[in-house]
Amino acid sequence: MNSTLKELKDITAASCVTLILNTHRTNPDSDQDIILLKNLCKEAEERLLADESKRDAKKIIDRMQELAASIDHNHNLESLVLFVNEDIATYTRLPMAVTNRVVIDTNFATRDLVRTQHQEANYYILVLSQQKARLIEAFNDKVVKEYSRSFPIENTQFYSTSKGEQANALRETNLLAAFFNSIDKELNSSRAEHPLPVLICTEQSNYAEYLKIADQPQSIFDIFLNKNRLDEKAHHIVTDAWELIKEITMEKNNARKAELATAVGTGSFLSDINDIWRAIHEGRVQTLFIEEGLFQAGVIENNTITLVTDDERSDKGVTDDIYDELIEAAMSHGGDAVFLPAGNLTKFNGFGAITRY
């Protein structure tokens, strides 16, 4: 997901189409996803034909329909996002709910990818013993996937075969360290393109030994799921893991809310959308705060934002979601984004920014 965001966030073109829809993990519910995607494609097609020349519109429509037809809905998660312009046609699955919509703009709508990274808890679970290791990717209390190419890893090499060796504690420790080191190498290779924190599920003695050999111990949670659970279903492991991760996530979110309260008290908080836009381009915005589910169409002209009604969202020159534009601009200038539940920013109309100075 990180690589997808990096690839897309800086792309600009006359028409970048983003189709965003909720999906289902299982049949027969996933049959609904095919119908919803067709409806969104139809909406995008009508808007493209209204705004572009027939020739230019057809290029994008053909790529969009080809991409939509290529998707295997048997592997859907909670949502699906398609990105299409004349040069690009790609999609990504997200493990969280979204708002169904079509966005056509001069760049792609990447807000939901950003929200996945910053709002919720996406993490790995390394299920570990002295004989075997599994790797599961989780999002909150749901399984995203269990790795099946480089994992599971079985200890077929680093163990003692003679009674003499088994009686040698140092030899046993060194063999265990070698096995754990081989696991760590595969773990870091698997997470290279999608670096997430790691929760270890194992017995206490194994957890301590693994930390000794870990190349990136800072990426490993300082709590662990204490039990040998190698033979359990992935969703059972994730359910219990989430009870630990949920506490950490709540603490993190509360800390970000405390930053907001402090900024309001010290005057380093902006709530006017044009003040925020200018501050972003001056490099002064540290963090944007936005309520979930908040979307607003607008026009950016002469470096000034003018908000428009939903009825004008499809008009040429209108940015479908002005907040997505601000989030991308802030991140390109070294800022970040925090998504808060609806109602947390009511007195600021759902949107605000903390400035660096």
Domain locations along the chain: 2-118, 122-252, 267-355
Answer whether 90's CB lies under 8 Å from 51's CB.
no
Answer whether 195's CB lies under 8 Å from 219's CB.
yes
Q: What is the pLDDT of residue 19?
A: 97
Q: What is the pLDDT of residue 318?
A: 85
Question: What is the Cα–Cα distance from 102 to 17, expressed in whole angstroms?
Answer: 7
For the chain, list the strands marked E by DSSP: 16-22, 79-84, 89-94, 101-105, 122-128, 132-139, 142-146, 153-154, 198-202, 220-226, 269-270, 285-291, 298-301, 304-307, 336-340, 351-355
Range in 24-28, 115-119, 122-126, 157-161 the model is least confident about: 157-161
Distance of CA 19 to the CA centre of its chain: 17
User: pLDDT by residue (tens digit) across 73-92?
Assistant: 988 988 999 999 999 999 99
Share of the chain above pLDDT 70, in %: 94
Which one, of 186, 182, 170, 190, lies nearest residue 213 by Cα? 182
Mean local confidence (pLDDT), 320-345: 86
* Average confidence score pLDDT of the chain: 88
User: pLDDT by residue (tens digit) across 93-103?
Assistant: 988 888 899 99
Q: What is the pLDDT of residue 23?
A: 95
Strands 132-139 and 153-154: antiparallel
CATH of domain 267-355: 3.30.1330.30
CATH superfamily membership of 122-252: eRF1 domain 2 (3.30.420.60)
Q: What is the pLDDT of residue 232?
A: 95
Helix, strand, coil percentages, rounded to 5, for the chain: 45, 25, 30
Q: Is the pLDDT of residue 114 over 90?
A: no
Q: Is the pLDDT of residue 209 over 90?
A: yes
Range in 59-73, 208-222, 253-267 the model is least confident about: 253-267
Q: What single letter denotes the amino acid at residue 190?
A: S
For residue 101, the cross-strand partners are: 20
Question: In this predicted model, which residue has the larger pLDDT, 157 or 119?
Answer: 157
Question: In this predicted model, which residue has the larger pLDDT, 340 or 32?
Answer: 32
Q: What is the pLDDT of residue 292?
A: 82
Q: Is the pLDDT of residue 348 over 60?
A: yes
Q: Is the pLDDT of residue 125 over 80?
A: yes
Question: What is the Cα–Cα distance from 125 to 146, expressed in whole angstroms?
Answer: 9
For the domain with range 2-118, which CATH number is right: 3.40.50.11740, 3.20.20.80, 3.30.960.10, 3.90.1150.10?
3.30.960.10
Whether the domain at 2-118 and the domain at 122-252 fall into the same CATH topology = no
Q: What is the pLDDT of residue 187?
A: 95
Q: What is the pLDDT of residue 101?
A: 92
User: pLDDT by residue (tens digit) across 154-207?
Assistant: 998 756 555 555 556 666 778 889 999 999 999 999 888 778 899 999 999 999
**Please, which pLDDT band fits residue 7 given cuts at 50, 70 and 90?**
confident
Q: What is the pLDDT of residue 244?
A: 93
